[in-house]
Amino acid sequence: MRAKIPFRLLLLFLAGTQYPATDIHAQHARIKIYIDRTVGEVNKNIYGNFVEHLGRCVYGGIYDPGNKLSDKDGFRKDVLAAVKQLNPTVIRYPGGNFVSNYNWLDGVGPKTERIPRLELAWGTLETNQFGTNEFMQYARAIGTEPYISVNMGTGTIEEARRWVEYCNVKEGPYYAELRKKHGYPEPYNVKYWSLGNEMDGPWQMGHLSAEDYSKKALEAAKLMIRTSPGIKLVAAGSSNYRAGADPDHWNRTVLHELKDVIDYIAIHMYVGNPDSNYYNFVATPLVLEQRIKLIKGMISEAMQTASRGERDPIYIAWDEYNVWYRARGGDAGRGKRALEERYNLEDALVVAEFLNAFVRNADVVKMANMAQLVNVIAPVFTNETGMFRQTIYYPLELFANNVYGTSLDVFVDCPTYPTKKFSLGVGESSTQQTKVPYLDVSAAYKDGEVILCVVNRNKEEAITTDIMSQSGAFSGDMQVTEVNGPDIKSGNDFDREPVHSSNKPAIKTNGNTITYSFAPHSFTMIRGRVTK
């Protein structure tokens, strides 16, 4: 994560006024589903999350020893319950910018012997009371897959190798025996490892050129794989889309140089609405999808000359994404209360659109990690006496607990609204007219059931839609769940959660077409059976 403004990734600034629904009554929307027209399998790891030593994500968030709400291991029980319900399938740790000046050995061993260090990324004192073993305990407590990022900034390739040995080798060599000495006799068998964080960004400690990063990452990969064959490696893709940067050069170079050893390329993206332009803001995930398609092409190019044996092709890990623009810079960007973004309904709709995009691109997007889990640009927010679920919690919870199986290539015909300017990053813009569909849609099919996810971007009007199955009749009742609130600026707090999931009356089916009216500014999930 980048520590300073200007934003390191795109905020989609689409100039002009807010666009009302001028033709919504003149058109009838249609969604066509054909269960044999598929994209790829939805990977469970697209519902991941991220824990960084930043602000109150760890200390005072997931880990709060001495608090009456914490268990014997220091984990906040209320947070643990909310996180379990969120069902994060893979959690990235320990950073983020934090990892680029972190020595993992500082966070293991007896806590009384751990040395506090000056934390340079976010301007705090790191006590190191929470480290590798505590994170592994937490991952097991919530039933998630651990995903560790190694230090490719100030760290060495041997430090990275030793961390793999500590986590994954059962016994014999020094660091495996050190883990046992620390009280953990069995290896953790961590499968996912990333080769650094945002190394193309000048804000990153140990920032490298694409060529230098690729050389260092390749040598680290060699050592890590030889220490623990079968691990999956994630390369740091571009995170710098500022004016003057060349993200395409970075991504092509990394893919070309590391194509034989990596399994994923990581991409990051944060969006925001600083101009309070709702219709522009809810279009921002379209750029994420553009970048997916561009990087997919680069992967295809690299695979033409790769030597990977029977291994899968390289996939995309979108291992940082979220809405983030209020709590940036100044006091809000550093210190113990850093990045404490408070979310509203429009933010939740954008998150739902991110998730729709991941499902629509299930053939190449095989991991995604919302940043972050607690307090820091997070779906769960705490104080010393309680917690609440932010608005963005609810779409992620619905997806993570329901949307699996095969992604479908869905046909959508609906009204659109215009944009006057379509920006691909800070300093990049185009005068080309762009039309944004009011309905943002994804669908998956599993065990005879279709799961349809729809965001209605229209702020004022419901959109009546015919949903047609082209491969069989709908059968039984279709269950409907909606995330909505009183208005687009509605947010949750400790004493109220006006934005939440609610069950709506089931849809009675009769044949291969149902009609449903999607409420204004809403995310809706419809699930039901299709009989061939």
- What pLDDT, in 10s, does the model give residues 11-20? 433 333 444 4
Describe the crossing of helices 77-86 and 132-142 by its angle, rounded to 10 degrees: 60
- Give pLDDT, residue 422: 43
Within 13 Å, how many C-alpha atoms sit on residue 218's CB side?
14
Q: pLDDT higher for 21 or 408?
A: 408
Residues 196, 201, 206, 210, Cα dihedral to 10°: 70
To the query of whether residue 198 is one of the catalytic residues in this protein, the response is yes
Burial of 317 by CB count in 10 Å (0-12 exposed, 13-18 middle, 19+ buried)? buried
Rounded CA separation 415/438 (Å): 6
List the one residue out of 94, 233, 228 whose CA is nearest residue 165: 228
Rounded CA separation 379/356 (Å): 18
In the chain, % of residues over pLDDT 90: 87
Residues 473, 476, 478, 479, Cα dihedral to 10°: -160
Rounded CA separation 52/72 (Å): 22
* pLDDT for 55 beyond 50: yes
* pLDDT for 4 beyond 80: no
Burial of 497 by CB count in 10 Å (0-12 exposed, 13-18 middle, 19+ buried)? middle
- Give pLDDT, residue 294: 96
- Give pLDDT, residue 404: 98
Per residue in 184-220, pLDDT tens? 999 999 999 999 999 999 999 999 999 999 999 999 9
List the one residue out of 21, 15, 19 whose CA is nearest residue 415: 21
Residue 30: phi and psi, rounded to 5, are -135, 140
Residue 351's contacts (CB-CB under 8 Å, 6 or more residues apart) are 322, 323, 370, 392, 395, 396
Confidence class for position 420, pLDDT limits 50, 70, 90 = low
User: In this structure, are residues 303 and 263 in contact, taking their beta carbons and an 8 Å threshold?
Assistant: no
- Give pLDDT, residue 459: 96
- Supply 485's token pair: 């609130």
User: In this structure, are residues 44 and 89 in contact, taking their beta carbons and an 8 Å threshold?
Assistant: yes
List the one residue out of 52, 41, 2 whose CA is nearest residue 369: 52
To the query of whether residue 320 is one of the catalytic residues in this protein, the response is yes
- Give pLDDT, residue 113: 96
In the chain, % of residues over pLDDT 70: 92
Question: What are the residue ranges spanned by the domains of the chain?
Answer: 29-337+345-408
User: In this structure, are residues 292 and 245 in contact, taking their beta carbons and an 8 Å threshold?
Assistant: no
User: In this structure, are residues 317 and 357 in contact, taking their beta carbons and an 8 Å threshold?
Assistant: no
Please give the average per-residue pLDDT across 98-119, as a whole number.
97
Burial of 352 by CB count in 10 Å (0-12 exposed, 13-18 middle, 19+ buried)? buried
Q: Which residue has the tokens 């994923």?
A: 264
Rounded CA separation 196/254 (Å): 13
Per residue in 280-290, pLDDT tens? 999 999 999 99
Per residue in 165-190, pLDDT tens? 999 999 999 999 999 999 999 999 99
List the one residue out of 470, 511, 503, 463 whose CA is nearest residue 35: 470
Other Cβ atoms within 10 Å of 85 Cβ, number: 14
User: In this structure, are residues 346 and 281 in contact, taking their beta carbons and an 8 Å threshold?
Assistant: yes
User: In this structure, are residues 525 and 452 in contact, taking their beta carbons and an 8 Å threshold?
Assistant: yes
Confidence class for position 433, pLDDT limits 50, 70, 90 = low
Confidence class for position 333, pLDDT limits 50, 70, 90 = confident
Residue 35's contacts (CB-CB under 8 Å, 6 or more residues apart) are 406, 408, 445, 450, 469, 471, 472, 530, 532
Marked catalytic residue, from 52, 119, 198, 482: 198
User: In this structure, are residues 32 and 411 in contact, taking their beta carbons and an 8 Å threshold?
Assistant: yes
- Give pLDDT, residue 242: 87
Please give the average per-residue pLDDT across 262-273, as a whole number.
96
- Give pLDDT, residue 15: 36
Please give the average per-residue pLDDT across 372-377, as a whole number.
98
The chain-wide mean pLDDT, for the chain, equals 92
Within 13 Å, how many C-alpha atoms sit on residue 150's CB side?
29
For strands 48-50 and 365-371, give the pairing.
parallel
Confidence class for position 418, pLDDT limits 50, 70, 90 = confident
- Give pLDDT, residue 14: 38
Q: Which amino acid is at 441?
A: V
The CATH superfamily of 29-337+345-408 is Glycosidases (3.20.20.80)
Rounded CA separation 501/479 (Å): 13
User: In this structure, are residues 409 and 89 in contact, taking their beta carbons and an 8 Å threshold?
Assistant: no
Marked catalytic residue, from 126, 134, 165, 320: 320
Asked whether the CA dihedral 192, 193, 195, 198 is positive or negative, the reply is positive
